[in-house]
Amino acid sequence: MGKILVTGGLGYIGSHTVVALHESGYQVLIVDDLSNSEREVLSGLRDIIGFSPNFIELDLRDKSAVAQLFSGHQFDGVIHFAASKAVGESVENPLLYYENNLNGLIYVLQNCVAHNVHNFIFSSSCTVYGEPDHLPIDESAPIKRALSPYGNTKQIAEEILHDVCQVSEISTVLLRYFNPIGAHDSALIGELPKGVPQNLVPFITQTAAGLRKELSVFGDDYPTPDGSCIRDYIHVMDLAEAHVVALDRLMDREQQEPVEVFNLGTGQGNSVLEVIQTFEQSTGVSLPYKIVGRRAGDVIAVYADTTKATEILGWSTKRDLASSLSSAWAWEKRIRGL
Ligand code: UD1
């Protein structure tokens, strides 16, 4: 089918996408610097797909190592996940984020040009929309000034890809993720945050597992029906499958423009309090939580208009919030031996 370079392939979304790629017959080479992932993810992947996927430990900021990688392999496409993603950390250390998220992209693209790799998929984020003017939000919505260096790296990366695709044979699909949650049904791979989780669902599952005393709900005085923020929580396997569909489109040369952009969400918004309630209902575990003040930089509400992905990619989500949360819980229980 084709040999695909998956950068950041041991990370949360990358590892689930490796499974989906394998199921569709793609051959995968994973590169990852293990800065926010674990080598053991390879064992989980092996147990799911039946063999250990090809893996090279590599930091994409190492320009000569990236050149060497492309000299040694002819890829049919690249899915570029590798990036740092902690919003708060990016505010404290912006240069780390600009260096890691942009240099890595630039070196990979330079080698795609040099080695005639024409199919490129980039992990973007709904964060590029900032606080949206209208909901649900579609791909034509304006890009707002980024609220964090992390968000800015996603905006700049999108611009870099537009510029490069104008003057090269590279075609790109920009996938703007909403909030990925959940884990593979086997519970052999899932989200593995380092330290205290910053994101809602891993904090919920760690609290339910007894690792954290209680969840803090960041604000209940927003102008939303129950006062808590609204997001579009998408099962990571639905997200992973969208990458395969986008890749198929690139490989089949069906792309209409050098850069195509798709929102990847469920199209449904859920509040933080709804997520807690759905977690409790679907798992039968009660979750201690308290309401605290708002978190700086949080947008009030964001959820996707997924019409474009449905009509053009023929993709839509198959899993609902309850099953996403149950899968996250099954994963947490497995890694904690519960
Ligand atoms: C944000 C970005 C997303 C980015 C991600 C990286 C937006 C809209 N989304 O996700 O693009 O990829 O960061 O990490 O900018 N919450 C709590 N208590 C907690 C944790 C979270 O109440 O302990 C609430 C937050 O206030 C928010 C919701 O849960 O309303 C989701 O938060 P989180 O999981 O951190 O994701 P985003 O901030 O939406």
Residue boundaries of the structural domains of the chain: 3-181+233-264, 200-231+267-332
126 lines ligand 1 (CB under 6 A): yes
Q: Are 16 and 240 in contact (CB under 8 A)?
A: yes
CA distance 247 to 180: 19
Cβ–ligand 1 contact at 198 (below 6 Å): yes
Q: Answer yes or no: are the C-beta atoms of 230 and 271 closer than 8 Å.
A: yes
Q: How far apart are the first and last CA of the chain?
A: 40
What pLDDT is stored for residue 263 in this prediction?
Answer: 98
What is the per-residue DSSP string for 261-301? EEEES-S--EEHHHHHHHHHHHH-----EEEEPPPTT--SB
| C-alpha dihedral sign at 286, 324, 203, 151 | negative
Say how far apart CA 188 and CA 184 lie, in whole Å.
Answer: 7
Query: Ligand 1: which residue has its CA nearest to atom 9?
Result: 127
Handedness of CA 278, 281, 282, 286 (dihedral sign): positive
Is the Cβ atom of 176 under 6 angstroms away from ligand 1?
no
- Give the span between the Cα atoms of 184 and 216, in whole angstroms: 26
Determine which residue's CA is closest to atom 28 belonging to ligand 1.
200
CATH code of 200-231+267-332, in short, is 3.90.25.10
Residues of the chain where predicted confidence (pLDDT) is lower than 50: none
Q: List pLDDT tens digits, range 290-323.
A: 999 999 989 999 999 999 999 999 999 999 999 9
- pLDDT for residue 1: 79
Homologous superfamily (CATH) for 3-181+233-264: NAD(P)-binding Rossmann-like Domain (3.40.50.720)
Going from the Cα of 38 to the center of ligand 1, the distance in angstroms, rounded, reads 23
Cα gap 141→272, rounded to integer Å: 24
Q: Is-same-fold flag (3-181+233-264; 200-231+267-332)?
A: no
Name the residue at shortest CA distance from atom 21 of ligand 1: 200
224 Cβ inside 6 Å of ligand 1: no
The secondary element (H helix, E strand) that includes residue 181 is strand 179-181
Which of 199, 217, 270 to probe ligand 1 with, by most ligand atoms within 8 A of CB? 199
- Integer Cα distance of 138 and 141 in angstroms: 6
The DSSP code for 137 is: B
Is 274 touching ligand 1 by the criterion CB < 6 Å? no
Active site residues: 150
What does the pLDDT read at residue 254? 95
pTM recorded for the entire structure: 0.97
Distance 44 CA to ligand 1 centre (A): 27
pLDDT at residue 171 in the model: 98
